[in-house]
Structure 1
Amino acid sequence: MLTIHGVTRSRASRLIWLCHELDLPFTQNPVIQAYRLPDPQAPDAPPNTRSADFLALSPAGAIPVIEDDGLVLSESMACTLYLARRHGAPVGPQDAAEDALMMQWSFYATASIEPDALTILFLHARGGSGDPQEAAAIDTAAERLRRPFAVLEDHLARHGHLVGSRFTVADLNMAEVLRYAQSWTPLMQDFPAICRWLEACQSRPAFHKMWQARAAEPE
């Protein structure tokens, strides 16, 4: 059976959402980020990204990691693309062209959107932005996001989804990255197609199942 190493309050959320879309059974080893613990090396510390057992799987010490039929794989986008490809349509690719497009949009999300979206998440969505320097950093990140958001807005306004006119792993990967910036209204309000698409993605039962599990975990 597939094993997912990582708490749901991490990029493992992408894998867990996908497994629910696929009705794919999995076990979860709730490895937590070491920075969230007062002493990750303490004898009574929970499994974390500095635990020896986890580092044996992931020398980089980053979650998520999956084990699947002998394969050990890290990097959340690699994991979701692998699982979608292995288990097929409708969420996965129907042919090589769709496979390439799903990789294209997933890499675009990580390279062109995720860094600045994370800035908004850490400084605004988690209660910051009162400090003038933090507010300026949010404004700068949001301004940089306008160009990739414009590309995404145009595509979604014309096609409704990223690949194949249906919900796929590309939508899931992109939606999980955009979620980081979703709370910044001055940016989001200028991209109505993105907002409609994101609402539809997050209205899916599989997303709600993942989100409930995430909410049940300690912050």
Structure 2
Amino acid sequence: MLTLYGVYRSRASRPLWLLAECGAPFTHVPVIQTYRLADPQARETTLHTGSAAFLVVNPMGQIPALTDGDLLLTESLAITAHIARRFGGALGPQDEPEQALMEQWSLFAATGIETPALEILATLQSGATSLPESQAALAVAAEKLRRPLRRLEQHLAAKDWLVGDRFTVADINTAECLRYAQGHAPLMAEFPATNAWLQRCQARPAFQAMWAARLAEPE
């Protein structure tokens, strides 16, 4: 039996979306990030990433984490890859070339997209986007993203999905990394095929279910 540790407002959204897609049975343990618990008393009563009980699972104190029998995985991309191979059916690789391509796109997203996308998200959430320094930070992060987004745009200009002409775990991982920059509307408008692909991903019922659960969690 799979056990997934982590809340929806974290990178656990990736495996939670995938699990909603494939319908694999699992136990969800909602471990929250310690930094989100300002009240010391809450840290005593809530399972969080600094809790002794969770540090037994992942000594790094990070979410998500997944156990599958004796197997322990503590990186979101490794978790989604494992779930897709074992339970995903068409969401996972059907042969070795597809596995390589799914790994490639997932790592491409993690190394080329996620960091500048998070910089955009942090700036947009700061509430001070009209300040010159915020505008400068957005411009720098957007420029970092243009090269990988051009790569995505070229690929998606003639395809609906990243691998195998179908929606797969590669789309989940890449879409979840790009989601952080989605609020930068002018940047997304520069890449219409990529933006349309992201909208297709997020229109899926499993994403909508995951997102509703995320919004239901306390911020």
Q: Tell me the TM-score range normalised by the shorter chain.
A: over 0.9
Note the C-alpha offset of 1:59.
1.3
The corresponding residue for 1:167 is 167
The residue correspondences of 1:117-132 to structure 2 (distance < 5 A) are 117-125=117-125, 127-132=127-132
What's the counterpart of residue 195 of structure 1?
Answer: 195
Aligned mates of 1:125, 1:98 — CA distance in 2? 37
Give me the TM-score of the superposition, normalised by structure 1.
0.95
Change (3 A) 1:108 1:195: same
In structure 1, what is the Cα distance between the partners aligned to 2:176 and 2:123? 18
User: Secondary structure of 2:105's partner?
Assistant: helix
CA distance in 2, matches of 1:125, 1:102: 31
| Cα-to-partner distance string for 1:106-130 (whole Å, 9 max, x where unaligned) | 0000000100000111111453423
Deviation at 1:39, TM superposition (A): 4.5
Gaps of 5+ in 1: none
CA distance in 1, matches of 2:123, 2:92: 34
Q: How does 1:136-215 map to 2 (within 5 A)?
A: 136-215=136-215
Give distance in 2, aligned partners of 1:41 and 1:148.
Answer: 44
1:30 lines up with 2:19 in the alignment: no
**Cα distance in 1 between the residues matched to 2:30 and 2:146:** 35
Please state whether the residue corresponding to 2:158 is helix, strand or coil: helix
CA displacement, residues 22-75 of structure 1 (integer Å, 9 cap, x when unaligned): 011222111111111115686634111111111111111110001112211111
| Structure 1 moving runs of 4+ over 6 Å | none
Q: Is the 8 A contact 1:39 1:45 kept in 2?
A: no
**Aligned letter for 1:188?**
M
Query: Considering only aligned residues, what root-mean-square deviation do their CA atoms show, in Å?
Result: 1.4
- CA separation in 2, counterparts of 1:142 and 1:41? 40
Structure 2, unaligned runs of 5 or more: none
- TM-score using structure 2 length: 0.95
Equivalent position SS for 2:161: coil
Aligned length: 219
